[in-house]
Homo-oligomer: A and B are copies of this chain.
Amino acid sequence: MTLNRQWLLKARPHGMIGPDNFEYTETPIPQIGDGEVLVKNQYLSFDPTQRNWMVDRPGYLPPVGIGEVMRAGSVAEVVESKHPDFKPGEQVQTTGCWQDFAVVAPGQGPMGVNKLPPGVSPEMMLSILGITGMTAYFGLLDHGQPEDGETVLVSGAAGATGSVVGQIAKLKGCRTIGIAGGEKKCAWLTDVAKFDGAIDYKSEDVSERIGALCPNKWDIFFDNVAGPILEAALNHLNLYSRVVMCGGIANYNNIEPVPGPNNLMNIVTNRGRMQGFIILDYLPRAMEAIEALVGWVSAGDIVYEVDIQEGFDNIPSTLQRLYTGENFGKQLLRI
């Protein structure tokens, strides 16, 4: 009899997450009820915010409980269906979590369950058309509100969200500067993703380089990182500039809360705005983003990278790659 392999949350993280936070188990394949669908995960999505779901504090989603299957987005194949809209063999995108088999249903869970549009691969669905691509699209356009000729600075710029932010900004007529870790990522930003400039935070003085690469300062800072890079950025904001606060991966694995930027007053004197947002609020508008992104990708105007790891056993260690910066492009795992 086939069992359902699962990775459960075993212990809440204290500092950098690691394999000890998770526990492997095997359970019977679940039964479905009316209106439900049994799916078998094929690809898992890895997202920095998963670290936040592991912590027992109020967030935009309830924390994963100790002993519960770790939450994750996935692309899966329908195995059995008691819902009229789904048939075995169809590929869907859902919150399948770290397990082989999941019971899902439309309207349930943070993402519900949605069929992959024709011609869309799992890799595409979980990256450029998934949460990270939509985060870039809505964060930049709704909150950054780029105007032709403005300068857009992006942290985590080689990541799945940041790289798309910069490329959309470029399409909107902006000058784009990306901050990333390491020569390889920086070279990719300027050579492949066509950013106007790249800053390697591992080897360069970020504030000084922002000053050099943004002679007119920046109008939009799309921040995936927070921490010292946010502080460096706030030395160079233009009048009426916007900080799109997307995430703070620099701090997610800290044990103690880390002080914020010491120059927030620059926001006041420059009449700036810092706007936080959560992509789940935008899911009702998902088709708007998907249509635009498919168009840009088809036209060759936006490129994206996926970093695909393999194997059920490697799920916990793959999550860790996000926080060490080992991943190059959207982190996925093929089960």
Residues of A with Cβ closer than 8 Å to B?
52, 58-60, 226, 230-231, 245-248, 251, 257-265, 267-278, 281
Contact = CB atoms under 8 A, between A and B. Distances in A.
A276 B273 contact: yes
A312 B262 CA distance: 36
Given A58-B269, A248-B265, 9 more contacts: A231-B260, A246-B268, A247-B268, A251-B265, A257-B262, A258-B262, A268-B278, A269-B276, A274-B274
B276 A271 contact: yes
Contacts of A270: 60, 276
Contacts of A272: 275-276
Total copies of the chain? 2
Contacts of A257: 262-263
A246 B264 CA distance: 11
Nearest 3 interchain pairs by C-beta: A259-B259, A260-B260, A257-B262
Contacts of A59: 269
Contacts of A269: 52, 58-60, 276, 278
Contacts of A258: 262
Nearest to A258: B262
21 contacts: A59-B269, A60-B269, A246-B268, A247-B268, A248-B268, A251-B265, A257-B263, A259-B261, A259-B262, A260-B262, A260-B263, A260-B264, A261-B264, A264-B274, A267-B274, A269-B276, A271-B276, A271-B277, A271-B278, A272-B276, A274-B275
Contacts of A230: 264
A145 to B, nearest CB: 13
Contacts of A260: 231, 259-264
Nearest to A143: B273
Nearest to A266: B276
Contacts of A246: 268
A314 to B, nearest CB: 28
Contacts of A251: 265
Given A251-B265, A260-B259, A264-B248, A275 B273 contact: yes
A272 B60 CA distance: 12
Given A226-B264, A257-B263, A261-B260, A273 B271 contact: no
A131 to B, nearest CB: 14
A281 B275 contact: no
Contacts of A267: 245, 274, 276
A83 to B, nearest CB: 31
A263 B251 CA distance: 10
A257 B265 CA distance: 10
